[in-house]
Structure 1
């Protein structure tokens, strides 16, 4: 009996170790140096939080935002970001056996300064948000992972009340609904969350609805958006106001039920709310604050979807633009653009609080982090 227990214990350690090496961290950056490794991939050890370099890509300009296909075989990036009169989306094949990330192709972004790409859950469609020109583009994805030509492209011209930052539309993200039948577009410049119905079987999948947008508070500056795992609630960070708006969600319609600050009351200015994610168990929400704070605001989620602030965690750097939580929910990885560092935090599943683990790694102008178990 004792021998069986010992064997089972070693089998557990072996399988856990193997499992822990199948989680990958993908890093994008603002970097115009074509000799630099502007996209880097690391393995995340889900026992210790250690990051180990796996592969990288050169000759890519400003791959500022990344996303990974549902099957983990392809990576898509906003490229030529913050490049005047330019902008593209690019595809790469990720091969874990050969340890390679290989460029496949690029397409024009359909607007200047692409800042966010997302893949439909069926892996056959790509949506891209363009910030400077305020537009959205959708593309079919071919069977070999390449991006086909633009299927639809919509531009917006309306702005809002802030004369410095909202003279026109600035679409900051493109997020599919949990079922994949709607696409939501937080528009910082117009104080709107735009939306379309999405029919994956049509050549032009974006379909206008009777309610083409949800109006946010004035000077909110909606930026990033996420859905709760139960698919009933949506959460939007408001960059300019430093708030999170909470919405009840049903059949493409958002109804606001709460608005809560991402920063302490004593902070009155100099904040820029950024990214937002929910733990896989649906119990906690995390949002990054840039500017004076450079931290992660931590919230518990109650049975009605409402938020309660329970603390803050420094990101150990400046300007945390994007972060990600691994699929096991054990670790959160944050990227700090201005200090060129990536930091891993262990997440307490009971309290939701974070604790730095392992050694931070360096990457010039790191702007994005995505995590995928493959």
Structure 2
């Protein structure tokens, strides 16, 4: 199969070649942090990842959203969800249809997130609600989904007990750890009834009960915190990968299943791999687990690496793609009937 790329060239495509959507910042002065790259002309870029050559080809671009900063795919439909980052006004969550063959993104609908600087999206297991988090004012909430995956208006939001009083970016950077700043929301993988919300301002992880029928979150307790989105990576779940934005590398750790004392869960360093760019804001595996893509925010690039599922070793393929201020990469295998066959986990 051939698909025309964005530069007019014909790119060889196989059904097993996944799509890659990259989100970019196009405005810096309304963010809760200070990127050092180039403002983007296009905020969403869709690529094809060619597994045979370990290279990416640009297929399409989309400019509907300002500062999209988190992406999520529906596990049954070719629908992309994105949220926006802005500390000056209420942000939005949007959904797009995605062409499985040529990567064209078509805006379908947007809904208000009822808060500022939206930074994380989570689909519940019933696929009936989208959970979201606003970083700046720490407002969390849910919005229903139609049976076809479209977004409906927010059901309910929860505001922090301690209000955020930062007036601007300078004030925020000086006092970030003195105010609540919810940074992610993750449902438990077994029952989908407990929502964990790391708060990197208050240094706690909030625990909420989640009612999948109504979409309502109810606070229950808080826990000692850790990194905001640390999960085992790779198809075998025996490795943990972490990006180091100062060191500009990805660290690979092997999970020790057992120790001499019979305990499990300890980590062993496998290797550190430079991302060939600065500030790896986000990275993600392709659905096969063979390739890893790194969004290097402050050097305007997305780089491609091979991942050895047996040893955990990362190897740079040599492929560097120019993308201004990339902050998120979402890799998925589209279903040719309009449904998704596989979505790579974050």
Alignment TM class, shorter chain as reference: 0.7 to 0.9
TM alignment of 1:191-270, pairs within 5 A: 191-201=203-213, 203-209=214-220, 212-216=221-225, 222-226=227-231, 228=232
CA displacement at 1:330 relative to structure 2: 0.3
Deviations 1:27-68 (A, max 9, x none): 111114999321111111233321122222113200111111
Deviations 1:190-232 (A, max 9, x none): 111112222322x2332343xx22123xxx6x42243x5xxxx
User: Which of residues 54, 59, 62 in structure 1 aligns to 2:64?
Assistant: 59
1:50 is matched with which residue?
55
The change in CA–CA distance for 1:366 and 1:86 in structure 2 (over 3 A counts) is same
Answer yes or no: is the 8 Å Cα contact 1:28–1:38 preserved in 2.
yes
User: Which of residues 216, 234, 237 in structure 2 aligns to 1:279?
Assistant: 234
Answer yes or no: is the 8 Å Cα contact 1:315–1:343 preserved in 2.
yes
User: Which of residues 184, 187, 192 in structure 2 aligns to 1:173?
Assistant: 184
1:40 is matched with which residue?
45
CA displacement at 1:19 relative to structure 2: 4.2
User: Which of residues 20, 27, 35 in structure 1 aligns to 2:22?
Assistant: 27
Answer yes or no: is the 8 Å Cα contact 1:70–1:122 preserved in 2.
no
Higher relative contact order (CA 8 A, sep 6+): 2
1:69 is matched with which residue?
74
Answer yes or no: is the 8 Å Cα contact 1:193–1:215 preserved in 2.
yes
Q: Runs (4+) of structure 1 moved beyond 3 Å? A: 32-35
Provide the rounded CA distance (Å) in 1 between the counterparts of 2:215 and 2:73: 23
Provide the rounded CA distance (Å) in 2 between the counterparts of 1:122 and 1:331: 29
Answer yes or no: is the 8 Å Cα contact 1:299–1:308 preserved in 2.
yes
Paired residue secondary structure (1:308): strand
Paired residue secondary structure (1:166): helix
Provide the rounded CA distance (Å) in 2 between the counterparts of 1:186 and 1:52: 36
Provide the rounded CA distance (Å) in 2 between the counterparts of 1:332 and 1:193: 28
User: Which of residues 254, 264, 268 in structure 2 aligns to 1:308?
Assistant: 268
The change in CA–CA distance for 1:143 and 1:95 in structure 2 (over 3 A counts) is farther
Paired residue secondary structure (2:288): coil
What is the RMSD computed on CA atoms of the aligned residues?
Answer: 2.3
Provide the rounded CA distance (Å) in 2 between the counterparts of 1:148 and 1:173: 21
Q: Does 1:96 align with 2:100?
A: yes
1:5 is matched with which residue?
none
CA displacement at 1:92 relative to structure 2: 0.9
Answer yes or no: is the 8 Å Cα contact 1:117–1:129 preserved in 2.
yes
Number of aligned residues: 296
Paired residue secondary structure (2:26): coil
TM alignment of 1:324-363, pairs within 5 A: 324-363=284-323
Q: Does 1:295 align with 2:290?
A: no
Provide the rounded CA distance (Å) in 1 between the counterparts of 2:198 and 2:138: 10
The change in CA–CA distance for 1:204 and 1:59 in structure 2 (over 3 A counts) is closer
CA displacement at 1:72 relative to structure 2: 4.5
Unaligned runs of 5+ in 2: 1-12, 29-38, 164-172, 258-263, 335-346
The change in CA–CA distance for 1:98 and 1:366 in structure 2 (over 3 A counts) is closer
The change in CA–CA distance for 1:322 and 1:36 in structure 2 (over 3 A counts) is same
Q: Does 1:365 align with 2:320?
A: no
The change in CA–CA distance for 1:98 and 1:308 in structure 2 (over 3 A counts) is closer
TM-score normalised per structure 1: 0.74
The change in CA–CA distance for 1:204 and 1:350 in structure 2 (over 3 A counts) is closer
Paired residue secondary structure (1:183): strand
CA displacement at 1:183 relative to structure 2: 1.7
Provide the rounded CA distance (Å) in 2 between the counterparts of 1:343 and 1:98: 21
Answer yes or no: is the 8 Å Cα contact 2:24–2:40 preserved in 1.
no
Provide the rounded CA distance (Å) in 1 between the counterparts of 2:291 and 2:266: 23
